[in-house]
Amino acid sequence: MTSPHIDTTHSAKSDAADVAVIVVNYGTADLALQAVDSVLMRDHRGLKVEVHLVDNASPGDDAARLARALEIPARAGQVTFYPETTNHGFGRGNNLVLRALAARPCAPHFVFLLNPDARLKTDTLADLAAFLDDHPQAAVVGAGIDRPDGGSPVTAAFRFPCAISEFSDSMRFGPLTRLTSHWTVALPSTTPTQQVDWVSGAALMARLDVLKTVNFFDPDFFLYFEETELMHRLHQVGWETWYCAEARIEHVAGASTGMHAGRSTPRPAYWFDSWRFYFCKTQGLWGARLCALARLGGSMAHAGISILRRRQLSYERGFPSDFTRKVMRPLFYRGS
């Protein structure tokens, strides 16, 4: 594959910020302010850092509260605020800022996407910026993720999903999981610094110039799979994605999306749409159909095994019927 040709040095843009941090909030104003403060309180080893906060048409008075909070002396003039009247989702919400930054005569060198329910734990920005400086073929580098309560680290590095991983992950049968471990999407939380397929969108740094060449996030995605698809496109044109275990954040998983692992809460409709979009865009219609059959087949096999073993299902009730209605039917009966 031909290597990408983009100047990765800083000399041509001496007046630009080194890093622009983007936080997209929806309904978590207090946590979003903690995320912003975790950036403002550090000197980032001399890097020029600017902060951008998007409120994605949050319910209640989030936008007004954020606007007032950004006026206090400790934050005044240090954060660019975007009070949106439409909930754009994750990718499109970030795109608002990314496009504005890229249009500047002196655009920032790097952008750092930070979830509103996350905060810096170390000199994360300096570590990631230094990593990109040292790895000119890397377009994206992700940070390690810790739990605020001091529990086990969270997985933040991944492989691209495929039909084998969809079947194995949904079947959740120990012997099969071990047999197909080479295709398992989630890498261990103890994974050391290395090149990976994709990293968590909760804390990733990217070269703004490179994101511009692939037109940023795909606007078809509302939430979920958007960062996976973006890094798949970058991979297709020759760029690398890395995981940097030394750079750390703390993340309250699910606080901003409201989606937690469990058997009682159904997945939102946009998860199914994003699943279908991702596989159609990366593997084509017939590849998406194969992956859908694998996912549904694995889920049904898991249900049968659970009944035989008199165990509860590991996925939320209603998932197979929801998946059939929201993924299988559009794929097989509408060709979309």
Residue with tokens 């795109």: 95
Q: Please name the residue ranges forming H helices in the chain.
A: 29-40, 62-69, 89-102, 124-134, 163-171, 174-179, 208-213, 226-236, 269-308, 319-323, 329-333
In a domain, 311, yes or no: yes
In a domain, 164, yes or no: no
Share of the chain above pLDDT 70, in %: 91
Of the two residues 303 and 199, the one the predictor is more confident about is: 199
| 44 sits in which H/E element | none
In a domain, 172, yes or no: no
Ranges 233-247, 260-274, 303-317: which has the least confidence: 260-274
Q: Is the pLDDT reported for residue 10 higher than 70?
A: no
The range of the structural domain enclosing residue 327 comes to 269-333
Query: What is the Cα 141 distance to its own chain's centre?
Result: 12
Q: What pLDDT digit, counting tens, does each position of 52-85 carry?
A: 999 999 999 999 999 999 999 999 999 999 999 9
Bridge partners, 242 (sequence order): 141, 195
Q: What pLDDT digit, counting tens, does each position of 129-171 carry?
A: 999 999 999 999 999 999 988 888 899 999 999 999 999 999 9
Q: Are residues 146 and 201 in the same domain?
A: yes
In a domain, 3, yes or no: no
Split into its structural domains, the chain has a count of 2
Q: Is the pLDDT reported for residue 205 higher than 50?
A: yes
Q: Are residues 93 and 234 in the same domain?
A: yes
Bridge partners, 244 (sequence order): 143
In a domain, 59, yes or no: yes
